[in-house]
Structure 1
Amino acid sequence: MKKRTLLNHGALAWFAGALLNAYGQLILLTSRVVVRRDQLSARLIGAQGRPVIYALWHCHVFFMPMLRISSGRPVAVLLSAHRDAQIVGVAARMRGVELVAGSSTRGGVRAYLQLIQLLRRGRSICITPDGPRGPARRVKPGVVHLAQQSGCAVVPVGLAVRRGRRLRSWDRTLLPFPFCSAVLSLGAPLWLPPVEDTEALALQAEQLEAALEAASEQASRAL
Structure 2
Amino acid sequence: MVLAHFHGDELALLSIVKRYRIATIASQSKDGELMATVLKWLGAKTSRGSSTRGGVQALKGLLRLVKDGGNCSFAVDGPKGPLHKVKPGVFELSRMIHGPIYAAGVACDRAIHFPRSWNKTFLPKPFAKVIIYWVGPMAPVSKEIDPRNPDLALELEALLHQARQQALKFIADNDAQC
Are positions 1:193 and 2:142 aligned together?
A: yes
Q: Within 5 Å, give how 1:168-187 maps onto structure 2.
A: 168-187=116-135
Greater CA drift, 177-186 or 150-159: 177-186
Conserved? CA contact 2:23–2:66, under 8 Å = no
Q: Which residues in structure 2 correspond to 1:74-223 (within 5 Å)?
A: 74-167=21-114, 168-191=116-139, 192-196=141-145, 201-223=149-171
The aligned counterpart of 1:44 is none
Preserved CA contact (<8 Å) 1:133 1:170: yes
Tell whether the 8 Å contact from 1:195 to 1:201 is kept in structure 2 after alignment: no
Per-residue Cα deviation, 1:163-218 (whole angstroms, up to 9, x for no partner): 213202001101222232221112121113344558x7110011111111111111
CA separation in 2, counterparts of 1:196 and 1:57? Answer: 23
Q: Which amino acid aligns with 2:6?
A: W
Q: How many Å separate the matches in 2 of 1:98 and 1:109? A: 17
Match of 1:62 in 2: 11
Q: Work out the CA distance in 2 between the residues paired with 1:201 and 1:162.
A: 36
Q: For 2:40 and 2:67, how far apart are their aligned partners in 1?
A: 22
Q: Check conservation: 1:160, 1:219, Cα contact below 8 A.
A: yes
Tell me the percent identity: 30
Instruction: Show the counterpart of 1:17.
Output: none
**CA-atom RMSD in angstroms:** 1.8
Higher helix share goes to which structure? Answer: 1
CA distance in 1 between counterparts of 2:41 and 2:145 reads 42
CA drift of 1:113 comes to 1.2
Aligned AA for 2:36? G
- Structure 1: how far apart are the matches of 2:145 and 2:170? 39
Relative to structure 1, is the Cα distance of residues 93 and 169 closer, same or farther in structure 2, using a 3 angstrom cutoff? same
Tell me the secondary structure at the aligned position of residue 105 of structure 1: coil
* Count of aligned pairs: 169
Structure 1: how far apart are the matches of 2:2 and 2:145? 22
Q: Is the 8 A contact 2:107 2:168 kept in 1?
A: yes
Unaligned runs of 5+ residues in structure 1 are: 1-51
Bigger radius of gyration, 1 or 2? Answer: 1
Kept in 2, the 8 Å contact 1:163–1:177? The answer is yes
| Corresponding position of 2:176 | none
TM-score normalised over the length of structure 2: 0.86
| Structure 2 residue matching 1:180: 3-state secondary structure | coil
